[in-house]
Amino acid sequence: MAEVIKMPKMSDTMEEGVIASWLKKVGDTVESGDIIAEVETDKATMELESYEDGTLLYIGVEEGGSVPIEGVIAVIGEEGANYEKLLKAQKSSGEDKSEKKGQAEDKKSEPQPSDNGAEKKDAPAYTPSRAEGESSSSSNGRIKASPLAKKMAQDLGYDLSKIQGSGENGRIVKRDIEEYEPQAEPAKQPEKKEAAPAQTIELPKVVGEESYDEVRVSQMRNNIARRLSESKFTAPHFYLTMEINMDKAIEARKSMNEISPVKISFNDIVVKAVAAALRQHPDVNVAWEGDTIRKNHHIHIGIAVAVDEGLLVPVVRFADNKSLSHIAAEVKDLAGKAKSKQLQPKDWEGSTFTISNLGMFGIEEFTAIVNPPDACILAVGGIKQTAIVKDGQLVPGNVMKVTMSCDHRAVDGAVGAAFLKTLKSLLEDPIRIMI
């Protein structure tokens, strides 16, 4: 008796998994609960647990190979069991499904013409430019050379009869003069010494080799590309930008960090302020679902975190009910898990609004792509000291720019503008988010 182990769906957006490593090998005894492999999904590297007792009889994919959801990964069963029929049955079942899917797709669309079969033509051989190529083509013993080549040879004192031409019909062209190296040939002096020959500067030859690497696209990068492409080309985006005076926020953060058990960042303050603003503007805390708009009563803030292979968005749940120090500690913990690939599905699913902050990289202003199913994402730039007008006087101030990208299907311009106005008032008077 044997059981087929298939690739489970480990995240809501996962379509296939990559076997990062096998922790068991063929012939090893496996008990229910044992970790047999590590699987790289589009979000993280996760452990694959066995729910069967027996011997690992078959491994369907080597380390680094990808398997679609419900694809065969391995077979576990009694030692010596004949699992070949089981694999053939699985293969036949998969082929039947693929055939039915293909027939359904054929009915929906006709084949489109393709130019993949177009004949490829070799690039044309080098042809001298008109400036180089115009010269006498007679065969009466005259040397064939372009006017430019003749002038360069005269200035350098080269004997054209000793230079091999590489142009059309053996014509001497500019590059032949540049590449010519006379063999101890005395330079010819001009007949008249009134005007010295023009001097040319010989540039050193630059030798280099073109090269590149092709890096396999990871599951995470594949998923990022697919989701953001769908969002950008499906959801009609519009953008709202606002400047926020952060003078009071800077002072408040300094005071809070004197007593806070965890260091509070400006991003933590933005998270708390966004959560408070969403509570006042529930029409921004929504998701487009085709026939309906989902209005969320809870506030889960997704925080975009850059990792080596792309971008992850762990979620701070019920952010409006948490203190700043609580948010700061949770964000640091989630960011650490994201960079070490230890996030679990519960850590990245369920956001209702997303924040992307590039201020720490010196970016002053940018726009972000909406992270579905959220209807809005806030792009936060860095705090910049600049001149501002205060009470009719030009004084130094600290300004931060934010840009909110909105899915126009679910959020209108006036709704988004009202939200940003509230967010601005909260960040310019941060004591209001402490209440």
Cβ–Cβ under 8 Å, residues 43 and 220:
yes
Amino acid found at 46? M
Helix (H, G, I), strand (E, B) or coil at 1: coil
d(CA 279, CA 322): 13
> Would you give the end-to-end CA distance of the chain in angstroms?
64
170: its two tokens: 């053996």
Residues annotated as catalytic (active site), given as ranges: 408
- Which among 158, 178, 161 is positioned nearest to 170, based on CA atoms? 161
Helix (H, G, I), strand (E, B) or coil at 227: helix
- Which among 337, 359, 363 is positioned nearest to 348, based on CA atoms? 337
Q: Which residues contact 118 (CB under 8 A, 6 or more apart)?
A: none
d(CA 160, CA 154): 9
d(CA 126, CA 145): 16
Using DSSP bridges, classify how beta strands 353-357 and 376-390 pair: parallel, antiparallel or unpaired: parallel
Sort residue 70 into left (φ over 0), alpha (ψ -120 to 50) or beta: left
Cβ–Cβ under 8 Å, residues 352 and 303:
no
* Largest pairwise CA distance in the chain: 105
Sign (positive/negative) of CA torsion 295, 298, 302, 303?
positive
